[in-house]
Amino acid sequence: MLVVSVGVAAPTLFGAGDPAIPRGWWIALFALFLTALLTATMVRSPAIVGHGAYAVAVVSVWVAVLTARNTGLLLILLVVTAATSVYLFPLWVGLTVAVLNTAVVLAVTLPGSANPTEPALVTGFYLLIQVATVLSSATLIRERRMRRELAAAHVELQAASILLSESARTAERLRISRDLHDLLGHQLTLLTLELETARHVDAIAARAHLDRADRVARDLLRDVRATVGQLRTEAPDLETALRQITAAVPGLAVSLAVSPGVRIGEEQRVALIRAAQEIVTNTLRHAEATKLRIEVTSEDDVITLRAEDDGCGTADVVLGNGLSGLRERVVALGGEIAFDGRAGFAVVARVPAT
């Protein structure tokens, strides 16, 4: 955008054409246009700054075009201005700017023209170009937003899958514990009775009781081994779960570091998985970031999760439903959480290890 703008304004900037106002003033006007347009596209918070800068860019480009005697390709600046609007405003605003820009084109091309057809053709051409660029830019923005939403849905699905597996394993452990109580309790009672009986009868009768006790003991050993085999199907560790959530997120490079010494309880593990999910989806939807770093460390029985992106950030952090839920989940475990939007967006959550 910057290169195109300077390129089309080069003849007037470097003396090929004389503007209707002093060249120094025209150059200052053009510099104001570029500065305002760049500010509008780069400063998103607070919104009034971006909107005000865009209004300045629109007015300054109108004045620059109207005061340039030899417009040539300078009218392309109007196209650039219209196309930029969709990044800041709804589509109707961009179309309105295109119409107003077209009036400027007509005001430039109509005076002094012997044939009214030529101004009409030029004006119609620039109107079509502006509408096309506005619509194509809006389409690109919509597709990018849909890709972010799809990526966020992918992260949420991964987290839900992990937590569902964890819930199923928890239910299975509860079932096994009940089975152990019922089955082993019965077998141990039977074994105790057979051995107690064998102590109070003669050797011949005791033999039969000891044989039955031996069979009960063998059955008990077999059942214990089977139960242990089921319990060995453990949930993946925290790092594996977090990597499943953060792997291959479209449009966002996520780096993850989990300290080797992290040991964490089941509720804390679920909370950190949910925290990572919310952080990644929040970054995709709001931060306009390209990089996100997540670190999990352990110190003095406290687990700390730090996350920071390189997005636009915000001076005033307003917690939506997702971040509010994240705070409630951390506080419920006796932890604390802090948010910082001054440089990118950062989250620091601390929870007890167990």
Per-residue pLDDT at 112: 65
233: confidence class by pLDDT, cuts 50, 70, 90: very low
- Res 94 pLDDT > 80: yes
Question: What b/e readout covers 229-261, taking b as 16+ CB neighbours within 10 angstroms?
Answer: eeeeeebeebeebbbebbeebeebebebebeee
Confidence of residue 184 (pLDDT cuts 50, 70, 90): low
Q: Render 249-278 in DSSP notation, one character per residue.
A: -TT-EEEEEE-TT----HHHHHHHHHHHHH
Q: How far is CA 139 from CA 77, 78, 92, 126, 341, in A?
A: 21, 20, 14, 20, 29
Of 255, 249, 294, 253, residue with least CA distance to 275: 294
**What is this structure's pTM?**
0.58
Task: For 320-335, write each residue's pLDDT tens digit.
Answer: 788 888 888 888 888 8
Predicted pLDDT of residue 234: 47
Predicted local distance difference test score (pLDDT) of residue 271: 85
pLDDT in tens, 260-318: 877 777 788 888 888 888 888 888 887 788 889 999 988 878 889 999 998 887 777 77
Assess whether pLDDT exceeds 90 at residue 128: yes
Average pLDDT over residues 246-257: 81
Q: Is the pLDDT of residue 235 over 60?
A: no
pLDDT of residue 174: 67
Write down the pLDDT at residue 175: 64
Percent of the chain with pLDDT over 90: 8
In this prediction, residue 132 carries a pLDDT of 92
State yes or no: pLDDT of 166 exceeds 70.
no
- Mean pLDDT, residues 195-222: 71
pLDDT interval class at 98 (50, 70, 90): very high
Average pLDDT over residues 215-230: 67
